Chain A
Amino acid sequence: MSVLIYIDHADNQVKKSSLEALSYGSDLAKQLGTEADALILGTVEDDLALLGKYGVRNVYQVSNPQLNQLDAQVFTAVIADAISKTGADTIVFSGNATGKAVAPRLSARLKAGLVTGAVALPDTANGFTVKKTVFSGKAFAFVQLLSPIKIISVNPNSYSVKEGSGSAEISSLDITVPAPKVKVTATNKVSGSVPLGEAEIVVSGGRGLKGPENWGMIEELAGLLGAATACSRPVADSHWRPHHEHVGQTGLAIAPNLYIAVGISGAIQHLAGVNRSKVIVVINKDPEAPFFKQADYGIVGDAFEVMPKVIDAVKKLKGK
């Protein structure tokens, strides 16, 4: 019996969403009176012993470089093998792209109940029930896991990273890696910018900005705040902004600390992707815009007049 946390990485580094999963998993182990261990497939440059700071005892590594590329089928086979070798019975993933690809497969393979989109630690007083978001963040559900082995995939940005001291024991697992069927031929990353799904702050623009040529102020504010940029669906559909910036019911669902919406009306489908943000700021010239009902701070005004003032004030705050 133990909790095993799957550690995801890219560009030789452990992902932030995995640190959240680690904190979740080690808190869960404490709650269950058991130990937490981590599992990493492939290789990274980070010092894995440092993952002990997040409360794990062992870091198991399958350091076959073939595992630096995702083939969900191969990963599932390797993780299933690692589970039987380590005796883990609760498996924690981050609900990021890798978690979405692998956790359901693992669930079917092990006949292990899976809850995706978990936002809080399970209630283990009477059974094992996990709170998750449903209806695109408009509601939540309590899902009971009925099987002996349980898998939880934690919503990114839903559990805070807790850093303590401590050092983990690293041991390598000897697992045969099956030949992949998926051959990755190219990876295109938007360089230099903060990935939207992981961003603490997001500055987002809607149709109220009139055209792509007016995105300079969105980018400038985002740059000053170390934020990612996002947009509403019609903005992406009109090719003013790239598709991966589209947030909402049919785009990416995000949960940053701060979401600044400029010239976005706040349609229900847009809200569905951003309503888990901790603080919402709305700048809109229409006082009747529905977004104000969901906001924490609002300014009724013309974005072209308000944004330069906000940018100046942030520059002063940051001493620039």
Chain B
Amino acid sequence: MKILVCISKTPDTTAKIAFTDNNTKFAADGVQWIINPYDEWYALVRALELKEKDASTVLHLINVGGADAEPVIRKALALGGDEAIRVNSDSRDSFTIASQIATHAKSVGYDLILTGKETIDYNGSSIGGMVAELLDMPYISLATKLELSGTTATVTREIEGGEEIAEVSLPLVVACQKGMAEARIPNMRGIMAARTKQLKVIEPVAVEALTSISSFGLPPAKAGVKMIPAEQAEELVRLLHEEARAI
């Protein structure tokens, strides 16, 4: 069994969101970078659990990014995995990133490719589906559970108001979210081991971008809160009905 986990680098969840260069660039100064939580907590940890069940499993991590992504990739390797691949590209276009992942995946022939459900910065929710299409593999998005039995996967995915369980044969692409696994903390042995694991850098293939970000903006600030004394809680209901017209 060969598994590939797609790892992206995102600002820490508490990072201040601001933009520079005439609102065309994210203000990265002083920002802490982390592994995108969906990739770390769910995709990677589930892959590690599968490897623990079947020691013959080969587990690779891939990131499409610049050299500045390497500390985050090492952090992922400290949790586990045999080696990592970085495709040396700064592209922000989902199709370009997906094409790099698919090109590498084709050359190795993975049975299972795991992504997070979305990156918490660009919120694309796109890469998994694109990779699956480029590789002509089935795709399960918003997955909350994944079990393997031989070459058959049983996957639970979220749907509006509930969940759906499906059986699919490998190879398969799955986008992971909460439910898939419990977050882990890397231990000292993992951190030491990660230093000597291979981090291969490969050059990107030429792909024409389908999108480009022209600029960013921040939502307007709230007008301010209207406080209602606790003893007059019924007044809240009147305001919601007559002023806000929300109920």
Contact = CB atoms under 8 A, between A and B. Distances in A.
A and B co-occur in one complex? yes
Interface of A: 10, 15, 17, 70-73, 76, 95-97, 100-109, 111-117, 129, 132-147, 181-190, 193-198, 201, 225, 243-244, 246, 249-251, 257-258, 268-269, 272, 275, 278-279, 281-282, 292-302, 305-306, 309-310, 312-314, 316-317
A243 B181 CA distance: 13
Contacts, number: 276
Question: Nearest 7 CB-CB pairs, A to B?
Answer: A301-B230, A104-B129, A195-B161, A189-B162, A309-B233, A313-B234, A113-B210
Given A97-B141, A185-B165, A243-B179, A72 B129 contact: yes
B13 A145 contact: no
Nearest to A112: B210
Given A141-B215, A272-B13, A312 B244 contact: no
Nearest to A294: B222
A95 B232 CA distance: 40
B125 interface: yes
A258 B219 CA distance: 18
Contacts of B179: 243
Chain B interface residue number, banded? 35 or more
Given A250-B37, A297-B240, A109 B133 contact: yes
A134 B219 CA distance: 11
26 contacts: A72-B138, A73-B139, A101-B141, A101-B142, A104-B98, A104-B125, A105-B130, A107-B129, A111-B95, A111-B210, A114-B94, A114-B210, A116-B126, A134-B121, A134-B216, A135-B120, A146-B210, A146-B212, A184-B165, A185-B166, A188-B165, A249-B120, A257-B246, A297-B225, A309-B234, A317-B241
A287 B236 CA distance: 17
Nearest to A224: B247
B234 to A, nearest CB: 4
Contacts of B124: 104, 116
B158 interface: yes
Contact of B213 (A144, A189, A195, A272): A144
Given A188-B163, A201-B247, A138 B17 contact: yes
